[in-house]
């Protein structure tokens, strides 16, 4: 019975170590792939998601401001037209 417990302990320890090695390998792979992706992005002049979202937000805000200004211009043009006719 003592030998079976020893075998189970050894197998458990081996599995635990293997899981740790697999986890470390996964981390290293993710770091390596992250570096590759960063180089590809930099080399091809691509933008990150954060940069894209920032520019998109600026474009939306500019569009909204443009619409407001167009409305104000239209209102001013209505006021000016009667003055020009007289």
Tens-place pLDDT, residues 62-81: 999 999 999 999 999 998 88
Give the pLDDT confidence of 47-64 residue by residue, as tens digits: 889 999 999 999 999 999
> What is this structure's pTM?
0.48
Please state the φ and ψ torsions of residue 33, each to the nearest 5 degrees: -65, -35
Can you tell me the distance from the alpha carbon of 18 to that of 22, in angstroms, rounded to the nearest whole number?
6
Contacts of 47 (CB under 8 A, 6+ apart): 41, 55
Per-residue confidence (pLDDT) for residue 66, from 0 to 100 = 98
Return the structure tokens found at 19: 């899981």
Q: Is-contact 71 77, C-beta < 8 A?
A: no
DSSP code, position 45: T
Can you tell me the distance from the alpha carbon of 17 to that of 9, in angstroms, rounded to the nearest whole number?
12
Give the pLDDT confidence of 15-42 residue by residue, as tens digits: 888 888 888 898 999 999 999 988 888 8
């Amino acid at each position: 019975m003592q030998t079976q417990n020893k075998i189970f302990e050894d197998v458990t320890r081996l599995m635990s170590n293997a899981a740790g090695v697999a986890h470390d390998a996964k981390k290293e792979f993710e770091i390596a792939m992250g570096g590759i992706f960063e180089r590809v992005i930099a080399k091809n002049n691509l933008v990150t998601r954060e940069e894209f979202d920032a520019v998109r937000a600026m474009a939306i805000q500019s569009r909204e401001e443009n619409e407001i200004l167009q409305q104000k211009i239209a209102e001013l043009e209505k006021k000016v037209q009667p003055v020009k006719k007289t």
